[in-house]
Amino acid sequence: MPDRGIGCRYTLVFAVVLGLVVSTNVCASICGDAVVDPGEQCDDGNVTDGDCCSSTCQLESAGSQCPGDGDACTSDHCDGAGVCQHVVIGSGGDPDGDGVCASNDNCPATSNSDQADLDGDGVGDLCDPADAVIRVDRVRLQATRGGVPPSGTAKAKGRFLTALSGDVFDPLAGVTVRVADALGVDLTHGFTSCIRRSYFRVVRCDDGDFHADFKFVGDTLASLRFAVRFVHQPLTSPFQGPATVTITHGAAIDRAGSAVTCRGEPERLICRTP
């Protein structure tokens, strides 16, 4: 039967009284009509959950999530009385558009909604130049002697551990190696095709003049040794230590380390870690 009054749906009810059949109209509450009727705690004009007034017109508990106001610097929760509150939790807006308020974002200029931070230093992996440490045992830079192709070389050896929670090193998914000194040498190469060798314990990356080997050591596969060799590079002296190696893999995980005990020669630099 159609509605006959605000907040009511009238229903015809029959009953037997003293042997006679009588009828009457009974007003039943309508949830979702924006009128708070008996039995309802609220009525916001809809029958949708998650907006602080439930689909059965009952108040949703304080702290329940409610529709956001589009501001990453506010927390959107019900107050327990049917109102969605937008409480300020930070400042600076959301310039990188990752849904995290700038003042709370561990990488405010680069979108990283997962806020991943492998080493827990408060700087997101996408912004952190050193997410984990590697030991650089030796770096050797040799200047080119002219000719075509150039004869400069950069070699590096070292080791590292993947002991942190969630830290997985898989060069088969792509890896980038950078070798640099303190005077401007900066050689970087990204390997996209590496293969496993020697019963899966060695991963070899070869790409023209760029080579890198990664060897898993021990039963846990958490310890690795690396050897890098870049040949035919246009390197010119002088060089100066320390020499730094950075290995980047996965979701922008940068492993970095330096060899600081260096010996410079007219056309060469050799740095070691004692």
Band of the pLDDT at 23, cuts 50, 70, 90?
low
Cα 206 from Cα 226, distance rounded (Å): 13
Of 141, 133, 132, 157, nearest to 215 (Cα)?
157
In a domain, 117, yes or no: no
Give the range among 29-33, 87-91, 113-117, 146-150 with minimum mean pLDDT: 146-150
Does the pLDDT at position 8 exceed 80?
no
In a domain, 50, yes or no: yes
Of 212, 129, 215, 142, nearest to 177 (Cα)?
212
In a domain, 16, yes or no: no
- At 140, give phi and psi (nearest 5°): -130, 125
Cα 193 from Cα 206, distance rounded (Å): 8
Q: Which two tokens mark 22?
A: 């009588």
225 shares its domain with 142: yes
Q: Which two tokens mark 144?
A: 């080119």
Cβ neighbours of residue 44 under 8 Å, at least 6 residues apart?
34, 51, 52, 53, 82
Q: How many domains does the chain have?
A: 2
Residue span of the structural domain in which 196 resides: 132-272
Q: How many alpha carbons lie under 13 Å from residue 117 in its C-beta half-sphere?
A: 10
149 shares its domain with 260: yes
184 shares its domain with 62: no
pLDDT digits (tens, 9 = 90+) for 145-171: 877 889 999 999 999 998 666 788 888
Give the range among 5-14, 82-91, 129-138, 197-206 with minimum mean pLDDT: 5-14
In a domain, 3, yes or no: no
The model's pTM is 0.70
Of 71, 66, 114, nearest to 91 (Cα)?
71
In a domain, 45, yes or no: yes
In a domain, 206, yes or no: yes
268 shares its domain with 190: yes
Q: Which two tokens mark 217?
A: 């050591």
166 shares its domain with 72: no
pLDDT digits (tens, 9 = 90+) for 125-152: 899 888 889 999 999 999 998 778 899 9
138 shares its domain with 268: yes
